[in-house]
Structure 1
């Protein structure tokens, strides 16, 4: 029962997939971050299904672009937008954290979101779908969530409130770190063996930047910064996927 509740907590918080209603508690939240990568598995499966359907190229690209938003409900894009606003303010740490709490969407968030979707859709039109590509992309979507969960369990927190702090406080951080580090390592190895080393490299480089930016600009991570990382990682991994295809590596 706890096993299924743990998975349900992860899906209830980080996706728009309907799950049964139940009381969240210390037990079913303890390892919820370990179940977070399963959402990437769901998106990857739907992405591959979209790629396999006999759809016009632009419709297929639109599906590739929108499926992650539909499955997640846009929760990570919300964090991406807030973080873009905060970083563009060039204020001090306290000012940036205040902007993260502001529910309004600023001009820089709108600009960055429009730019993000334009770049994402353009890359989706360039992807040549094959079963191998679908499998690699699914691994990449799981990898970015494994790294995101690892950060929650390993990186310092910017404040003692908020979504990231709630999950970090409830988690068995030592076990979560071990499980997600092992999963991320295995996924990077699998991607490399299958020729998708560019995707693994992109994810790791964005992860390192995530740590540097969060520590320097905010004093640690927040839920919004976690969303910013995930969206950045996804865009750069998609660019790496296209580059590998263009270079004849896939």
Structure 2
């Protein structure tokens, strides 16, 4: 993506130099000011919501929410650790309330606890799809933007938004299930345990065989000693 954005920026600036060279410098300055202002707003929003998440965590509200959503999350993500389940529950609650800025930090923390290797797991892929679809029961952010824009009925999008986001999430989850093999951590554990049992059984059999061979050699040597003594 870095290459894509670099090429797009370079091409845009080259075109701008030919079309309106007198506005090139002003575009640079305006873009920098907009980026800095947007970054400061995001920092403020994330500070507020991360503080709220910390308070909710210390009040055990996150754990209660995770237990409430545990049956659904078990179907979606499989067997995951408790800390990841807590952040996923926060992420889902934020998305349902349409607070996208609050959903992002919890999703980042959840994916950090779900992924331990270089390959994206099935649970991580499902979390990405759920966040990309953004299932919203009450799209508060969009309703606020519509109200600021002067909409006569800013809440008209409640039902269409909910239906469209749910359908998008369902299709995405189905595609993830089709893309990943029918194998989860539980199945892998059973397979590993079976393999481990087979290996252990093989080792025990080999050890028993070695002991039997040693006993046979000792018996043969004793019988030969007795024969030699008798002959002498």
Same fold, TM-score > 0.5, yes or no:
no
User: Could you state the TM-score of these two structures normalised by the residue count of structure 1?
Assistant: 0.21
Q: Which has the higher contact order (CA 8 A, sep 6+)?
A: 1
Question: Rg bigger for which structure?
Answer: 2
TM-score by length of 2: 0.22
